Structure formats: C-alpha cells, structure tokens
Amino acid sequence: MATNPKGPMKTPPAVPATHQTLFETLLELIRMTSTNLPPDVRKSVVDGLEKEKAGSAGEYAMKVIQRNIDIACGVSQPLCQDTGSILFFVKTPVGYDQISFAEVAEAAVAKATELGYLRQNSVDSITGQNSGNNLGPGTPTIYFEQHRSEDLDIRLALKGGGCENVGAQYSLPDSRLGAGRDLEGVRKVVLDAVYQAQGKGCGPGILGVVIGGDRSTGFSYSKKLFLRPLDDENPDGRLAELEKRIMQEANSLGIGPMGFGGNTTLLGVKIAALNRLPASFYVSVSYMCWAFRRQGVKAAANGALKEWIYK
Amino acid sequence: MREIKLTLPVSEEQVRALNVGDMVLLSGVLYTGRDAVHKHLYEGKSIPVDIRGSAIYHCGPVVVKTESGEWSVRAAGPTTSTREEPYQATVIEKFGIRAVIGKGGMGAKTLKACKDFGCVYLHAVGGAAQVLAETVQKVRGVSMLEEFGSPEAIWELEVKDFPALVTIDAHGNSLHADVAASSEQKLNEVLGTKK
C-alpha cells in the first residue's frame, strides 16, 4: 500500500500468541471477501448477462463485470478498488471475550490494508486526513451478538461508497409519491429509490429493505439482509411476494447494468420488517453494487477456521 | 456499437468525432483525479503535471510499492463522478482536458462544457477494478500524494486499450439523460402516476 506520509494515526493492537489463529482466520476472510465473489452472486451475474441483448451497452457492461470477477479471483486482488465499509457481523459463544476479538479484527484489517487487500479507506471527517490503515473512530464496524453455540460465526461484507451514497430512507406517508403506510406504499418508495439511483450505485444492484424500525435500526438491519443468500426464499409469504414484484418491476424500468440501459437493473431484493412507533413509518433502502463482496466463516472458539459459509 | 481506438493526448477534432454509444479503447497517458484534486483545480491552484489534451480519471486506485521500489497498480476502477459536477466544467475549460473518465454520469453543467470546449465523458464499468488495472502498463509518477493521501493523489498512468463507453459526447447528447427520461416514464406507468 502507498504509505501514509504522516504514518498511520492509530497503531494496530498487538496480537497475543493465543489469538494468532483467529488473526490468520480473519485475514484470510478479508482476502477472500475482497477478491472472490460468493457463488450465489456469480450465478446471478451470469443470469443477468444472459438477459441482455447481444451487442448492447448493457451486455458490454455485464461482460466486463464477468471478466473482472474472474481476474480478481485469479490474481487474488481486490475486485473493486473501493474496498468499502468493513462490516463484520459476528456471533460469539456466551461469555466470549468480544473486546479481544475486536482488537484482533483491527490488527487483521490493518494487515490486510498493508497487503493491498483493502484500500486506505478511513478518513478523519474533520481534518480530511486518511488514517492509512483503515482504523479510526467507527472503522471497522463490528456488530456482535451472542448465540448458544461453542463456535464463532463471522461474516464480513465490504460495501463501497458509490452504492452507499444511493441508499435512501423514506418516511411514510410520502405525498410526492402518493405512498401510504402499507405494503403498496413500500413498493412505491422502493421503486423510486431504484429510479433515483440510476446507474450511480454500480448496478445491477441488490437491495436490502427494512420496513419500520427507527432511522438507525432500519438502516443497520437493511445491511444485515445482505447476509441472506441471493437465491433464498423469504419465510414471510407477504414479503416474499413483494420482493418478487419489486424485482420484476425494477427490471422493467430499463436502467440496466451501470445505467447504460438494459434488462438487468437489480440482481436481488431482500425485505424485512421491524416493529415501529405509532408515529413513525420508515422504509430504509440500502443498495449494494454488483461487486457484492460478502463471505463468512464458521470457526472454533480459538479462531481455527472450520468452514466457509457461502460456498 | 462502434469500437474506436484513441491515443492520449487527443485533439479537439478527434473528440468531436465521437458519439454517445461509441466504445473507446484508450492508450497513452491519463491522470487520476477525484474530490480533492477537483476542488484544488477549481480554486485556481496549480498542479505539477500538464494534463492539457489528456483525460482525467475519477479514480482512487489501490497502489503498492514493489520490492524494487516501483509503484504497481493493484485495482483501478472508476469512482462516482457526480461529486465533481460543481467543479468539472471549470476544470474542462481551464485545463483543456479532452476526456473525463468515471462512472454514473454527470449533469447539465458538464454536458454543456463538453459541448462548448470539446470534451467527452467516458463511462468505465464501475467496480471493474481488475479489468481496468490490467490496462495500466506503467505508473509514470504521482503528485499531491503527501497532501491528499493515496486514493486522492494524481497518479500518472500509462494505459493500453483502456475500455470505456461514450455516454456524454461533445454534441450535447447524454445517455444518462436519455435513460433517466425513459425510466421515469416507465416508473410512472408502473406506479400509475402521471407527470
């Protein structure tokens, strides 16, 4: 990595010998996530390519995308130079030391940055200074929860800034769109978000949509929806139906890959609902680019990698 | 689609011969420049390289220094261009660039500057960092690294057959405006609203 002339602002935590295995697992998870798209995403890209007209700009974009996926994996280098927000979703056994985990994760992120698997992507919002190693207030982000298992479930999503910028949050009712506080209103605002994004979010995209919650829980849960495999079925029949309908209607808008025009505007839609206050009705839409970098591992409590989750 | 090979720097005439929908393969030297560089140029400050006749690429690459001390580009896809919309027209006019490379398209001010001063907007495929990095033959130099940090610095890249699509030409046409208009019409049909 090009060194930061002023040096990293935050020294990565030292990794004790007891946590070396976890450090190596996390470093490998970051490398795999940044360089190799999971099989469900690859398949949807192939499906998208087949839907584009021969000789069209949309087909051209999908072909470049497909070639890019293959090269990145072959040379083990970042699929996209914007290695994005680093979002860890971690389930730990009851009583597990999450403070140490966070320190090891920071050390792994700093090392991955040094090795070029991650770009220097953490900027001081007041001074504009890049921290040089992706460490700083709020970066990386780690969502912890406990589960009744002896193992660690560690998932990572890298979400670029271009697609993050086209995310949107609506407060219903929305008079501009004639969207009321029901699933029909949700459908309207989500399609509006797709229209507003055009090609700026590096489509074909994947939407994470949360109905309800508050401004922060809605958005944070919408990102967790990216952990669902693209080809799964929503267990809630009403939401499964809405997902299918939005997918079909969004693809009929003709925005196409990269906004070049074409049939593939979205690769997937994932929707969940949270309870809300009587006074609020938010719809939070996170947009993920086609470079949908998401991977995960199941690991023993000492960090030893047991298996990849998306395979 | 027409496929056209161009070698940078290019003339105004070459640029005006391009149309929306043309696929170009760029060779020669181009310069990365994103938010910090555009603000800097817009404010009338100078840079140590001459970008006249060349292309400015909205890109924050991943660059590493190899063991032999050479810079090596590891990933070099485009970043979202609209952030430079307030600055781009002035940069096209004052610095005489003939192509802006990025993703997501640009707005009315840039469209007008492309027409007035002879420039095109070339859309690279967003996220295709490896396909595009593969076209980089050599890093000729870097400026403003200390001030702006690696992603925001001006990287002088020698490329061969860098692929991009003309989405704004020098005749006032924009694929982005066309797709926005047709998709808006479609959206209104789907939502049953009229505008």
| CA distance readout (Å), A146 to A98, A265, B149 | 10, 37, 38
| Alpha-carbon span B6 to B83, nearest angstrom | 27
Q: Which residues of B form the catalytic set?
A: 38
| Distance from the B64 Cα atom to the nearest Cα atom in chain A, whole angstroms | 4
Mutate to test the interface with A, among B2, B106, B191, B193 (most CBs of A within 10 A): B191
Residue-wise DSSP of chain A: -PPPTT--SSPPPP--GGGHHHHHHHHHHHHHHHH---HHHHHHHHHHHHHSPTTSHHHHHHHHHHHHHHHHHHHT--SSS---EEEEEEEEETT--HHHHHHHHHHHHHHHHHTTSS----B-TTT--B-SSS-BTTBSEEEEEEESSSSEEEEEEEE-HHHHHT-EEEESSBTTTTB-SSHHHHHHHHHHHHHHHTTTT-SSEEEEEEESS-HHHHHHHHHHGGGS-TT---SSHHHHHHHHHHHHHHHTT---GGGSSSS-SEEEEEEEE----TT--EEEEEEE-SS-EEEEEEE-TT--EEEES--
Mutate to test the interface with B, among A56, A63, A65, A82 (most CBs of B within 10 A): A82
Residues of chain A neighbouring B180 (CB-CB closer than 8 A): 198
Q: Is the dihedral of CA A17, A19, A25, A26 positive or negative?
A: negative
Residues of chain A neighbouring B37 (CB-CB closer than 8 A): none
Kindly tell me if the per-residue pLDDT of B129 is higher than 80.
yes
Query: Tell me, what's the pLDDT at A8?
Result: 67
In Å, the largest CA–CA distance within chain B is 63
Kindly tell me if the per-residue pLDDT of A6 is higher than 70.
no
Query: Tell me, what's the pLDDT at A217?
Result: 98
Provide CATH code, domain A17-36+79-160+293-308: 3.30.360
Interface A–B counts its CB contacts (< 8 A) at: 184
What confidence tier does A128 reach under pLDDT thresholds 50, 70, 90?
A: confident
Residues B23-43 have a mean pLDDT of 96
Q: Which residue of B has its CA nearest to A73?
A: B130
Residues of chain B neighbouring A128 (CB-CB closer than 8 A): 36
Point out which residues pair with A119 in neighbouring strands.
Answer: none
| Distance from the A203 Cα atom to the nearest Cα atom in chain B, whole angstroms | 9
Kindly tell me if the per-residue pLDDT of A2 is higher than 50.
no
Which of A87, A21, A35 shows the shortest CA–CA distance to B130? A35
| Alpha-carbon span B127 to A68, nearest angstrom | 8
| Alpha-carbon span A274 to A290, nearest angstrom | 26
Q: What tens digit of pLDDT does each residue of A38-86 get?
A: 999 999 999 999 999 999 999 999 999 999 999 999 999 999 989 999 9
Where do the domains of chain B lie? 3-191
Select the more confidently predicted residue: A291 or B74: A291
Q: Check CB contact under 8 Å for A199 and B179.
A: yes
Query: Tell me, what's the pLDDT at B75?
Result: 86
- Radius of gyration, alpha carbons of chain B: 17
Residues of chain B neighbouring A188 (CB-CB closer than 8 A): 191
Query: Are the CB atoms for B58 and B80 separated by under 8 Å?
Result: yes
Query: Tell me, what's the pLDDT at A1?
Result: 44
Percent of chain A scored above 70 by pLDDT?
97
CB-based contact (8 Å) between B123 and chain A? Answer: yes
CB-based contact (8 Å) between B77 and chain A? Answer: yes
Q: Check CB contact under 8 Å for B104 and A162.
A: yes
Q: Which residue of B has its CA nearest to A128?
A: B148
Kindly tell me if the per-residue pLDDT of A158 is higher than 60.
yes
Provide CATH code, domain B3-191: 3.20.130.10
What confidence tier does A3 reach under pLDDT thresholds 50, 70, 90?
A: very low
CB-based contact (8 Å) between B166 and chain A? Answer: no
The H-assigned helical ranges of chain B are 12-16, 35-42, 85-95, 108-117, 129-133, 145-148, 175-191
- Candidates A71, A82, A188; nearest CB to B79: A82
Where do the domains of chain A lie? 17-36+79-160+293-308, 162-288
Kindly tell me if the per-residue pLDDT of A229 is higher than 80.
yes
Residues B94-114 have a mean pLDDT of 96
Mean pLDDT for chain B overall: 95
Query: Tell me, what's the pLDDT at A93?
Result: 98
What confidence tier does B194 reach under pLDDT thresholds 50, 70, 90?
A: low
Kindly tell me if the per-residue pLDDT of B119 is higher than 50.
yes
Q: Check CB contact under 8 Å for B182 and A254.
A: yes
Q: Which residue of A has its CA nearest to B174?
A: A260
What amino acid is encoded at A168 in this protein? A
What is the residue whose two structure tokens read 């974009």? A61
Query: Tell me, what's the pLDDT at A7?
Result: 56
Residues A85-92 have a mean pLDDT of 98
Percent of chain B scored above 90 by pLDDT?
88
Q: What tens digit of pLDDT does each residue of B130-180 get?
A: 999 999 999 999 999 999 988 899 999 999 999 999 999 999 999 999 999
* Residue A306, both tokens: 């047991």
Terminus-to-terminus CA distance in chain A, angstroms?
30
* Residue B60, both tokens: 């924050």
